[in-house]
Structure 1
Amino acid sequence: SLLTPAAKLPGTDGRKMSKSYGNTIMMADPEPVVRQKLKTMVTDPARVRRSDPGNPDVCPVGDLHKIFSSKETMAKVNEGCRSAGIGCIECKGWAADSLLLLLSPMQERRRKFEENPKLAWDILEAGSERARKVSGETMKDVRASMGMSLEYEAPGK
Protein backbone atom coordinates (compact mmCIF):
# COMPACT_ATOMS: atom_id res chain seq x y z
CA SER A 1 0.00 0.00 0.00
CA LEU A 2 1.12 3.55 -0.66
CA LEU A 3 2.44 5.69 2.17
CA THR A 4 1.50 8.85 0.28
CA PRO A 5 -1.49 9.70 -1.93
CA ALA A 6 0.71 9.59 -5.05
CA ALA A 7 3.20 6.93 -6.12
CA LYS A 8 5.98 9.46 -6.73
CA LEU A 9 6.58 13.16 -6.46
CA PRO A 10 6.36 14.54 -9.99
CA GLY A 11 9.03 16.90 -11.26
CA THR A 12 8.33 20.01 -13.27
CA ASP A 13 8.67 17.99 -16.49
CA GLY A 14 6.23 15.27 -15.39
CA ARG A 15 8.90 12.66 -14.70
CA LYS A 16 9.80 11.71 -11.14
CA MET A 17 11.40 14.61 -9.31
CA SER A 18 15.18 14.24 -9.37
CA LYS A 19 18.13 16.61 -9.10
CA SER A 20 19.84 14.75 -11.92
CA TYR A 21 16.85 15.49 -14.20
CA GLY A 22 16.96 19.17 -13.22
CA ASN A 23 13.21 19.14 -12.57
CA THR A 24 13.16 19.78 -8.85
CA ILE A 25 11.48 22.23 -6.55
CA MET A 26 14.00 22.64 -3.76
CA MET A 27 12.94 23.11 -0.16
CA ALA A 28 15.09 26.24 -0.01
CA ASP A 29 13.65 27.79 -3.19
CA PRO A 30 12.13 31.21 -2.44
CA GLU A 31 8.45 31.79 -3.18
CA PRO A 32 8.93 33.45 -6.62
CA VAL A 33 11.13 30.55 -7.77
CA VAL A 34 8.61 27.93 -6.58
CA ARG A 35 5.79 29.75 -8.38
CA GLN A 36 7.85 30.11 -11.57
CA LYS A 37 8.80 26.43 -11.58
CA LEU A 38 5.17 25.42 -11.11
CA LYS A 39 4.03 27.82 -13.87
CA THR A 40 6.24 25.94 -16.33
CA MET A 41 5.20 22.49 -15.09
CA VAL A 42 3.68 20.13 -17.65
CA THR A 43 -0.01 19.28 -17.29
CA ASP A 44 -2.56 16.81 -18.65
CA PRO A 45 -1.43 16.22 -22.27
CA ALA A 46 -5.04 15.70 -23.40
CA ARG A 47 -6.02 19.18 -22.23
CA VAL A 48 -4.87 21.33 -25.13
CA ARG A 49 -7.27 24.28 -24.78
CA ARG A 50 -8.68 26.01 -21.72
CA SER A 51 -12.16 24.83 -22.75
CA ASP A 52 -11.08 21.15 -22.88
CA PRO A 53 -11.96 19.16 -19.76
CA GLY A 54 -8.94 17.73 -17.96
CA ASN A 55 -8.20 14.79 -15.73
CA PRO A 56 -6.27 15.54 -12.51
CA ASP A 57 -5.56 11.80 -12.14
CA VAL A 58 -3.18 11.87 -15.14
CA CYS A 59 -1.83 15.39 -14.56
CA PRO A 60 1.45 15.87 -12.66
CA VAL A 61 0.01 19.03 -11.06
CA GLY A 62 -2.90 16.88 -9.87
CA ASP A 63 -0.38 14.58 -8.17
CA LEU A 64 1.10 17.59 -6.35
CA HIS A 65 -2.39 18.53 -5.20
CA LYS A 66 -2.98 14.99 -3.91
CA ILE A 67 0.17 15.26 -1.79
CA PHE A 68 0.12 18.88 -0.61
CA SER A 69 -3.38 20.35 -0.95
CA SER A 70 -6.29 20.27 1.47
CA LYS A 71 -9.37 18.18 0.72
CA GLU A 72 -11.27 21.37 -0.08
CA THR A 73 -8.69 22.49 -2.64
CA MET A 74 -8.51 18.99 -4.08
CA ALA A 75 -12.31 18.98 -4.50
CA LYS A 76 -12.14 22.35 -6.33
CA VAL A 77 -9.37 21.00 -8.57
CA ASN A 78 -11.29 17.81 -9.38
CA GLU A 79 -14.51 19.65 -10.18
CA GLY A 80 -12.90 22.60 -11.97
CA CYS A 81 -10.47 20.59 -14.07
CA ARG A 82 -12.93 17.90 -15.15
CA SER A 83 -15.56 20.51 -16.12
CA ALA A 84 -13.03 22.94 -17.67
CA GLY A 85 -14.24 25.44 -15.07
CA ILE A 86 -10.64 26.32 -14.19
CA GLY A 87 -7.55 26.53 -16.32
CA CYS A 88 -4.19 24.94 -15.70
CA ILE A 89 -2.68 28.29 -14.67
CA GLU A 90 -5.20 28.70 -11.85
CA CYS A 91 -4.69 25.07 -10.82
CA LYS A 92 -0.90 25.57 -10.71
CA GLY A 93 -1.39 28.68 -8.57
CA TRP A 94 -3.39 26.67 -6.03
CA ALA A 95 -0.67 23.99 -6.06
CA ALA A 96 1.95 26.66 -5.39
CA ASP A 97 -0.13 28.07 -2.51
CA SER A 98 -0.43 24.61 -0.93
CA LEU A 99 3.24 23.78 -1.39
CA LEU A 100 4.41 27.13 -0.02
CA LEU A 101 2.13 26.72 3.01
CA LEU A 102 4.13 23.60 3.85
CA LEU A 103 7.57 24.94 2.87
CA SER A 104 7.38 28.34 4.60
CA PRO A 105 7.78 27.14 8.22
CA MET A 106 10.66 24.85 7.22
CA GLN A 107 12.36 27.65 5.32
CA GLU A 108 11.98 29.97 8.32
CA ARG A 109 13.60 27.40 10.64
CA ARG A 110 16.39 26.86 8.14
CA ARG A 111 16.95 30.61 7.86
CA LYS A 112 17.47 30.84 11.65
CA PHE A 113 20.23 28.23 11.46
CA GLU A 114 21.83 29.87 8.43
CA GLU A 115 21.89 33.23 10.23
CA ASN A 116 23.31 31.70 13.42
CA PRO A 117 25.21 28.43 12.76
CA LYS A 118 26.13 28.24 16.46
CA LEU A 119 22.52 27.17 17.15
CA ALA A 120 23.09 23.97 15.17
CA TRP A 121 26.43 23.30 16.87
CA ASP A 122 24.84 23.80 20.30
CA ILE A 123 22.14 21.25 19.45
CA LEU A 124 24.74 18.78 18.17
CA GLU A 125 26.91 19.21 21.26
CA ALA A 126 23.97 18.75 23.65
CA GLY A 127 22.84 15.62 21.79
CA SER A 128 26.36 14.26 21.74
CA GLU A 129 26.69 14.78 25.51
CA ARG A 130 23.38 12.98 26.16
CA ALA A 131 24.40 10.11 23.86
CA ARG A 132 27.80 9.86 25.58
CA LYS A 133 26.14 9.48 29.00
CA VAL A 134 23.67 6.83 27.82
CA SER A 135 26.24 4.87 25.82
CA GLY A 136 28.73 5.03 28.72
CA GLU A 137 26.21 3.42 31.07
CA THR A 138 25.30 0.84 28.42
CA MET A 139 28.96 -0.05 27.81
CA LYS A 140 29.55 -0.35 31.55
CA ASP A 141 26.69 -2.89 31.73
CA VAL A 142 28.01 -4.75 28.66
CA ARG A 143 31.53 -5.00 30.10
CA ALA A 144 30.20 -6.15 33.47
CA SER A 145 28.06 -8.89 31.84
CA MET A 146 31.01 -10.08 29.76
CA GLY A 147 33.39 -10.02 32.73
CA MET A 148 35.55 -7.38 31.11
CA SER A 149 37.04 -4.47 32.96
CA LEU A 150 38.88 -1.35 31.92
CA GLU A 151 40.74 -1.30 35.22
CA TYR A 152 44.31 -2.52 34.94
CA GLU A 153 45.87 -4.57 37.69
CA ALA A 154 49.64 -4.86 37.69
CA PRO A 155 50.95 -8.43 37.91
CA GLY A 156 51.98 -9.50 41.40
CA LYS A 157 49.65 -7.21 43.30
Structure 2
Amino acid sequence: DPGHPEHCNIFTMHQAFSKPDQIAFVDHQCRTAGFGCIDCKQVLFKNMKEEIVPIQTRVKEINQNPETMVGVLKSGAARCKAIAEEVMDEVRMKVGVKSEWMNR
Protein backbone atom coordinates (compact mmCIF):
# COMPACT_ATOMS: atom_id res chain seq x y z
CA ASP A 1 0.00 0.00 0.00
CA PRO A 2 1.21 3.52 -0.73
CA GLY A 3 2.15 5.52 2.33
CA HIS A 4 1.58 9.07 3.48
CA PRO A 5 4.92 10.54 4.58
CA GLU A 6 3.31 13.81 5.65
CA HIS A 7 1.61 11.84 8.46
CA CYS A 8 4.62 9.73 9.43
CA ASN A 9 6.86 10.46 12.43
CA ILE A 10 9.71 8.49 10.87
CA PHE A 11 9.57 10.65 7.76
CA THR A 12 9.67 13.74 9.98
CA MET A 13 12.90 12.42 11.47
CA HIS A 14 14.31 12.08 7.95
CA GLN A 15 14.04 15.88 7.72
CA ALA A 16 16.63 16.16 10.49
CA PHE A 17 19.01 13.33 9.57
CA SER A 18 18.76 12.65 5.83
CA LYS A 19 20.11 14.58 2.88
CA PRO A 20 17.61 16.29 0.56
CA ASP A 21 18.07 13.72 -2.21
CA GLN A 22 17.47 10.89 0.25
CA ILE A 23 14.38 12.63 1.62
CA ALA A 24 12.99 12.93 -1.91
CA PHE A 25 13.82 9.27 -2.59
CA VAL A 26 12.15 8.07 0.62
CA ASP A 27 9.12 10.29 -0.05
CA HIS A 28 8.74 8.84 -3.56
CA GLN A 29 9.28 5.24 -2.44
CA CYS A 30 6.75 5.66 0.35
CA ARG A 31 4.06 7.24 -1.82
CA THR A 32 4.46 4.65 -4.58
CA ALA A 33 4.80 1.65 -2.23
CA GLY A 34 8.32 1.20 -3.61
CA PHE A 35 9.35 0.03 -0.21
CA GLY A 36 7.79 -0.38 3.20
CA CYS A 37 8.24 1.16 6.59
CA ILE A 38 11.11 -1.13 7.56
CA ASP A 39 13.11 -0.02 4.51
CA CYS A 40 12.38 3.60 5.37
CA LYS A 41 13.54 3.04 8.95
CA GLN A 42 16.74 1.36 7.76
CA VAL A 43 17.63 4.41 5.67
CA LEU A 44 16.90 6.66 8.65
CA PHE A 45 18.96 4.47 11.00
CA LYS A 46 21.95 4.59 8.64
CA ASN A 47 21.75 8.39 8.45
CA MET A 48 21.26 8.79 12.21
CA LYS A 49 24.25 6.55 12.85
CA GLU A 50 26.43 8.70 10.56
CA GLU A 51 25.50 11.73 12.68
CA ILE A 52 25.71 10.09 16.10
CA VAL A 53 28.90 7.99 15.83
CA PRO A 54 31.27 11.01 15.71
CA ILE A 55 29.52 12.48 18.76
CA GLN A 56 29.80 9.19 20.64
CA THR A 57 33.48 8.96 19.70
CA ARG A 58 34.12 12.46 21.04
CA VAL A 59 32.26 11.67 24.28
CA LYS A 60 34.46 8.59 24.77
CA GLU A 61 37.59 10.70 24.22
CA ILE A 62 36.41 13.26 26.77
CA ASN A 63 35.50 10.56 29.29
CA GLN A 64 38.98 9.05 28.95
CA ASN A 65 40.60 12.41 29.69
CA PRO A 66 38.33 14.24 32.17
CA GLU A 67 41.04 16.68 33.30
CA THR A 68 40.93 18.27 29.84
CA MET A 69 37.21 18.96 30.24
CA VAL A 70 37.74 20.34 33.74
CA GLY A 71 40.36 22.70 32.30
CA VAL A 72 38.02 23.84 29.54
CA LEU A 73 35.23 24.46 32.07
CA LYS A 74 37.52 26.40 34.43
CA SER A 75 38.82 28.52 31.56
CA GLY A 76 35.28 29.28 30.39
CA ALA A 77 34.18 30.10 33.93
CA ALA A 78 37.07 32.57 34.33
CA ARG A 79 36.15 34.32 31.06
CA CYS A 80 32.49 34.48 32.08
CA LYS A 81 33.37 35.84 35.50
CA ALA A 82 35.44 38.66 33.97
CA ILE A 83 32.60 39.62 31.64
CA ALA A 84 30.03 39.43 34.45
CA GLU A 85 32.15 41.66 36.68
CA GLU A 86 32.37 44.32 33.97
CA VAL A 87 28.63 44.18 33.36
CA MET A 88 27.83 44.38 37.07
CA ASP A 89 30.17 47.36 37.49
CA GLU A 90 28.27 49.13 34.71
CA VAL A 91 24.91 48.21 36.27
CA ARG A 92 26.00 49.50 39.69
CA MET A 93 27.16 52.78 38.13
CA LYS A 94 23.88 53.24 36.27
CA VAL A 95 21.66 52.55 39.26
CA GLY A 96 23.86 54.65 41.51
CA VAL A 97 24.97 52.03 44.01
CA LYS A 98 28.64 51.89 43.10
CA SER A 99 30.88 53.34 45.78
CA GLU A 100 34.60 53.88 45.96
CA TRP A 101 34.93 50.99 48.39
CA MET A 102 33.42 48.69 45.74
CA ASN A 103 36.21 49.33 43.24
CA ARG A 104 38.32 46.30 42.50
Give 2:62's aligned residue: 113
> What is the CA deviation profile of residues 68-102 of structure 1, one whole-angstrom value per residue up to 9, with x for unaligned ones?
21111111111111111112221111001111122
Q: Is the 8 A contact 1:143 1:149 kept in 2?
A: no
Give 1:81's aligned residue: 30
**TM-aligned CA distance change 1:54 to 1:74, over 3 Å:** same
- Which sits farther off after the overlay, 140-149 or 57-66? 140-149
**What's the CA shift for 1:108?**
1.8
How high is the TM-score relative to the length of structure 1? 0.55
More helix by share: 2
**TM-aligned CA distance change 1:126 to 1:53, over 3 Å:** same
> How far apart, CA to CA, are the structure 2 residues paired with 1:131 and 1:121?
15
SS in 2 for 1:57: helix
Among 118, 122, 127, the residue aligned to 2:76? 127
**TM-aligned CA distance change 1:61 to 1:138, over 3 Å:** closer
Identity between Structure 1 and Structure 2 (%)? 31
Unaligned runs of 5+ in 2: none
Q: Which has the higher contact order (CA 8 A, sep 6+)?
A: 2
Aligned residues: 100
The aligned amino acid for 2:52 is L
> How far apart, CA to CA, are the structure 2 residues paired with 1:139 and 1:60?
47
- Which sits farther off after the overlay, 72-81 or 59-68? 59-68
In angstroms, what is the RMSD of aligned CA positions?
A: 2.0
